[in-house]
């Protein structure tokens, strides 16, 4: 017999049960920063890329072995001369508005991406013709063979080749899109977007995942949440409190100083998700003295202690960084030890001082910019400045913020005229894993990354990498490139940072390999 009391209790409990069920189906995530813009082709930010990976799918996706595999593509064929790529699409793919994904959408998306991305620009230069054979098959005809095209189309680092509807992909690549219709497993809800605070995603019910286990960006992308909330929290202590208090499920960038506090809580797990991490880089201005002189740049190498840089930036725990790091991201297929003794032999300030004296350095001012609003980069820069002072450089450490630093980097003048001499930064490990997207490695002078290093030899080797058809060939090129780096010193690798992430143990199925991914995850 049903009495009034249980009925009343059940009625009272109903709203909290409903809330609990909703919470179970909602993932609350603290991203590394503010999602300030949401066009992963227009923006180069890591967070816009992460957003892009949620709402857009890609033709190819990298597996945990960093090799490209089919994702939206059902298959592909390359002609015997290597010039024609014929790509077919998986059946049943849909955009968030219900329209089918067609060849025309893919071509328009590729063309827009090819105007902005570093590898896209190569495709832009090589592309003879892009043509839809049917709604599900299209061809890309190149002027010269490019075996790495699948890698480029599936590259996970910014800018990604996100597949958008043709009407959206026709937007000028230098302007932001205004239509957020995607092709990925999540739908973005712009009406609920509060930049700097909240971004909301919902599961795309019509998304057709591959029938394979999740494998980084390849394989299936099954979604087990109805809603994902990105809750932006600029203050690390607040974010830690929110995680400890079960107000969020997952924190992407816990501060190393706060890890001991988090580790004391049994409900929280800490591990490295992005195994490629990022590569610390000391970059020189090759146009102005003293670093226009390769002997001056090389003089620093004997004193570089990667451990000191990593400890300053990521803390004492050696699980959070990896040394020695050569020119390529440690742990990725092209990482090698060619000439690495330059950084692994016993460190010596005296040897560096001797080399500096012999280099002809005349005491010119060395202006080093440090963006104090980016803790890791600031730490790397302070170690670099201290080291250079001890070697004998006339160092002026100039504290600034990221917005100013990135503008000043484009100034090619002398330090006294607003220019600069050196800076430290970090590059996404996935970018620095191959010569194609490795900007510090390039030698394209004034056309290149800030620092404007010019080296026909490095450019020629990069071209060899593009033309390599086997991993063994790629590795040979990478080893040659690394030897050149020690000789020409366009930059100095400072170690591989492997920032950990923290999440509540109720979460399972996190996909490892690179950026934070939201499929395959379960709660409870």
Binding footprint of other proteins on the chain (CB under 8 A):
34, 36-38, 42-45, 116, 118, 158, 172, 174-176, 178, 194-198, 231-235, 237-239, 241-242, 244-245, 247, 373, 400-404, 406-410, 425, 427, 439, 447-450
Beta strands in 403-490 (DSSP E): 422-428
Q: Shortest gap between Cβ of 36 and other proteins (angstroms)?
A: 4
For other proteins, the closer of residues 315 and 448 by Cβ is 448
* 278-284 and 491-497 beta bridge pairing: antiparallel
For other proteins, the closer of residues 294 and 445 by Cβ is 445
Q: Shortest gap between Cβ of 235 and other proteins (angstroms)?
A: 5
For other proteins, the closer of residues 17 and 36 by Cβ is 36
Sign of dihedral through CA atoms 153, 158, 159, 165? positive
Q: Shortest gap between Cβ of 406 and other proteins (angstroms)?
A: 5
Q: Shortest gap between Cβ of 247 and other proteins (angstroms)?
A: 6
Q: Shortest gap between Cβ of 448 and other proteins (angstroms)?
A: 8
For other proteins, the closer of residues 94 and 261 by Cβ is 261
The maximal CA–CA distance of the chain, rounded, in angstroms, is: 98
Residues 6+ apart with CB under 8 A from 359: 290, 293, 295, 296, 298, 299
Q: Which of 185, 20, 42 is nearest to 120 (CA)?
A: 42
Q: Shortest gap between Cβ of 232 and other proteins (angstroms)?
A: 8
Sheet bearing 501-504, strands edge to edge: 186-188, 198-203, 227-231, 26-30, 250-251, 501-504, 268-271
What the block records as the tokens of 60 is 């190819």
Q: Output phi, psi for 413, to 5 deg.
A: -80, 180
For other proteins, the closer of residues 116 and 203 by Cβ is 116
- CA dist 355 and 497 (Å) reads 29
| Burial state string for 384-404 with b = 16 or more CB within 10 A and e = fewer than 16 | bbebbeebbbebebbeeeeee
Residues 6+ apart with CB under 8 A from 191: none
Q: Shortest gap between Cβ of 306 and other proteins (angstroms)?
A: 21
Q: Shortest gap between Cβ of 190 and other proteins (angstroms)?
A: 9
Look at the block and give the residue holding tokens 């950026």. 515
Please state the length of the chain: 524
For other proteins, the closer of residues 44 and 394 by Cβ is 44
Q: Which of 58, 200, 45, 41 is nearest to 121 (CA)?
A: 41
For other proteins, the closer of residues 235 and 271 by Cβ is 235
For other proteins, the closer of residues 137 and 414 by Cβ is 414
């Amino acid at each position: 017999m049903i009495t009034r009391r249980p009925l009343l209790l059940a009625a009272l409990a109903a709203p909290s049960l409903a809330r609990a069920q909703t919470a179970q189906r909602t993932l609350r995530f603290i991203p590394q920063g503010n999602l300030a813009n949401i066009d992963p082709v227009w923006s180069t930010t890591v967070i816009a890329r992460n957003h892009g990976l949620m709402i857009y799918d890609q033709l190819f996706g990298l597996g945990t072995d960093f090799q490209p595999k089919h994702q939206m593509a059902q298959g592909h064929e390359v002609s015997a001369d290597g010039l024609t790529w014929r790509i077919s699409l998986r059946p049943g793919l849909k955009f968030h508005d219900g329209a089918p994904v067609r060849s025309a959408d893919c071509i328009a998306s590729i063309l827009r991406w090819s105007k902005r991305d570093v590898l896209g620009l190569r495709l832009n230069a090589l592309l003879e013709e892009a043509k839809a054979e049917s709604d599900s098959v299209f061809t890309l005809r190149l002027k010269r063979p490019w075996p790495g095209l699948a890698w480029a189309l599936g590259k996970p680092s910014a800018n990604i080749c996100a597949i958008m509807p043709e009407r959206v992909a026709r937007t000028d690549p230098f302007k932001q899109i205004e239509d957020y219709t995607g092709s990925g497993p999540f739908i973005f809800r712009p009406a609920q977007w509060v930049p700097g605070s909240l971004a909301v995603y919902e599961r795309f019910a019509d998304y057709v995942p591959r029938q394979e286990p999740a494998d980084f960006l390849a394989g299936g992308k099954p979604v087990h949440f109805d809603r994902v909330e990105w809750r932006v929290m600029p203050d690390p202590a607040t974010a830690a409190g929110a995680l400890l208090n079960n107000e969020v499920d997952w924190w992407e960038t816990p501060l190393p100083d706060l890890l001991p506090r988090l580790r004391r809580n049994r409900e929280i797990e800490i591990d490295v998700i992005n195994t490629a991490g990022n590569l610390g880089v000391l970059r020189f201005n090759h146009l102005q003295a003293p670093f226009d002189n390769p002997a001056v740049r090389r003089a620093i190498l004997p004193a570089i202690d990667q451990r000191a840089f990593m400890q300053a930036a990521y803390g004492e725990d050696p699980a959070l960084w990896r040394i020695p790091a050569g020119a390529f991201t440690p742990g990725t297929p092209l990482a090698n030890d060619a000439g690495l003794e330059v950084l692994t032999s016993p460190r010596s300030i005296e040897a560096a001082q001797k080399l500096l004296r012999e280099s002809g350095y005349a005491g010119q001012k060395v202006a080093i910019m440090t963006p104090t609003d980016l803790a890791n980069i600031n730490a790397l820069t302070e170690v670099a400045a201290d080291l250079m002072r001890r070697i004998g450089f006339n160092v002026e450490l100039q504290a600034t913020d990221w917005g100013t630093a990135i503008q000043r980097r484009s100034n090619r003048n002398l330090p006294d005229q607003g220019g600069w001499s050196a800076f430290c930064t970090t590059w996404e490990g996935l970018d620095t894993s191959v010569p194609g997207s490795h900007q510090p490695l390039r030698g394209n002078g004034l056309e290149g990354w800030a620092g404007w290093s010019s080296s026909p030899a490095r450019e020629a080797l990069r071209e060899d990498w593009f033309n390599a058809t086997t991993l063994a060939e790629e590795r040979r090129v990478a080893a040659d490139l690394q030897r050149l780096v020690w000789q020409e010193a366009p930059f100095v690798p400072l170690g591989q940072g492997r920032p950990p992430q923290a999440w509540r143990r109720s979460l399972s199925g996190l996909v490892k390999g690179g950026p934070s991914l939201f499929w395959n995850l379960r709660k409870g």
